[in-house]
Amino acid sequence: MGNKHPKIPKQEELTRKRIHYLKKLTKFSEAEIQDWHVGFFQDCPDGKLNKETLTKEYKRYYGEHQAKIFCDYVFKIFDKNRDDSISFSEFLIAVSTRSQGRLRDRLGLIFDMYDSSRDKKLDTKELTALITAMVKLLLESKTSCSTLTDRDKVRAKIFAHLLSMPVQLKHLFVKKFEWLLYVIHYAADELRKNALTTIQYAEFGIPSCNIGRNESIHIGKNLVSILSTYMPHLHTLQLWRSDDFPWTSLRPNDKYGRYYGPFITRWKRSLSTVESINDHVTVFEQDLSQLFDQLKEFIFVDICGIIPREKVEPYRLMAQTRFPNSRIDVQLTRFRLWI
């Protein structure tokens, strides 16, 4: 942050007493505090940090996609006099809480950020804004389980705490279903028992079962087990797909490494064969049967995707045979089934 030898106002110099205070408050070492202090006054000679400067600095350390979220958070919590600037001490406390504070402290700050009425309670509107912002932050992170950082895992734990608040959730929308898997995998202890059992409507995006990494194409196989375990009273499910309607993949795992391109080309070509269409009809029937059999209160599934014209009638006949007396709508870009 800035040059190495800025001229620092006398009243803002780091005394031994002030260093001791900041070490205790932030858990930073003396050397780290000195480094932050020098940089801070190089960029902010008057000792006041504005949003524009903070955004620029935060991008350097944590990436552009989080800059605005973090800056809004810092100024809402630490700009006590609402003059659109914060002091060095306020800045250092914010950075330390964000990077190495205890989970309880982070949650407390997040609560304060969204308690706009300052009544120490979150009403429905405030809670909705909080969860929406956290989900947005989660979904801007890495999407591969194998590349999750420690920071990503902390986010998953925070999200689990948010889901576990003492409210009865009725609707749940997660843009990428794998993030719910990450929360369950990495933050099971933080997820309150029965936190999701009141959910009646869920909406997820599930990656392609045909194109992508081996790990990615098989994410959908966890769908019904997660729903039946955590959302047993689910009534309605909407899925967003990039291609076919079934969420269980039939594609063999890619074992060819650098020959992935030719492998995918051959696989995509095979999808138009009669044998492949019949196989996908069978696996789609299995997916739907498990969904309705394991969720006893389930009544409606709505899948948005895209299929070739040759699959429309086979899918319709399968659903009509497997679920007689049901209402069925099959189009090139949508499958809907009411029981």
When pLDDT is cut at 50, 70 and 90, the band that residue 239 belongs to is very high
Give domain status of residue 194, yes or no: no
Of the candidates 66, 101, 136, which is a domain's last residue? 101
Pair of tokens at residue 326: 């049901």
pLDDT tens digits, 19-68: 888 888 777 888 888 888 888 888 788 888 888 877 776 666 555 656 67
Lowest mean pLDDT, pick from 7-11, 89-93, 277-281: 7-11
Phi, psi of 70 (to 5 degrees): -65, -45
Residue 65: per-residue pLDDT: 57
Does a structural domain hold residue 118?
no
Confidence of residue 85 (pLDDT cuts 50, 70, 90): confident
Residue 10's alpha-carbon distances to 13, 18, 39, 45, 47, in angstroms, are: 5, 13, 16, 11, 11
Is 156 within the bounds of a domain? no
Contact indicator for 300, 338 with CB cutoff of 8 Å: yes
Asked if residue 338 and residue 211 are part of one domain, the reply reads yes
331 plus 219 within the same structural domain: yes
Is there a domain that residue 336 lies in? Answer: yes
Query: How many structural domains comprise the chain?
Result: 2
Together in a domain, 204 and 338: yes
Of 312, 321, 238, 326, nearest to 280 by C-alpha is 312
Per mean pLDDT, which range of 165-169, 258-262, 278-282 is the poorest? 165-169
Query: Per-residue pLDDT tens for 173-230?
Result: 888 898 888 888 777 776 767 788 889 999 999 999 999 888 889 999 999 999 999 9
Q: Is 21 contained in some domain?
A: yes
pLDDT band at 2 (very low <50, low <70, confident <90, very high): very low
CA distance 196 to 187: 14
Does 127 map to a domain? no
- H or E, element range at 185: helix 177-186
Range of the structural domain that residue 238 is part of = 200-339
Task: From 78, 222, 102, select the one nearest 157 (Cα to Cα).
Answer: 102
**φ and ψ of 173, to 5 deg:** -120, 120
Beta strand pairing call for 334-338 and 327-330:
antiparallel
3-29 pLDDT tens trace: 444 455 555 678 888 888 888 877 788
Contact yes or no for 9/87 (Cβ under 8 A): no
330 and 215 in a single domain? The answer is yes
Instruction: Show which of 47, 77, 101 is a domain's final residue.
Output: 101
Which of 68, 101, 134 is the C-terminal boundary of a domain? 101
The one-letter code for the residue type at 24 is K
Q: How far is CA 11 from CA 99, 124, 133, 140, 187, in A?
A: 28, 44, 38, 40, 45
Task: Say if 250 falls within a structural domain.
Answer: yes
Residues 205 and 337 in one domain: yes
* Alpha-carbon span 228 to 93, nearest angstrom: 43
Domain of residue 1, CATH code = 1.10.238.10
* Residue 122 placed within a domain: no
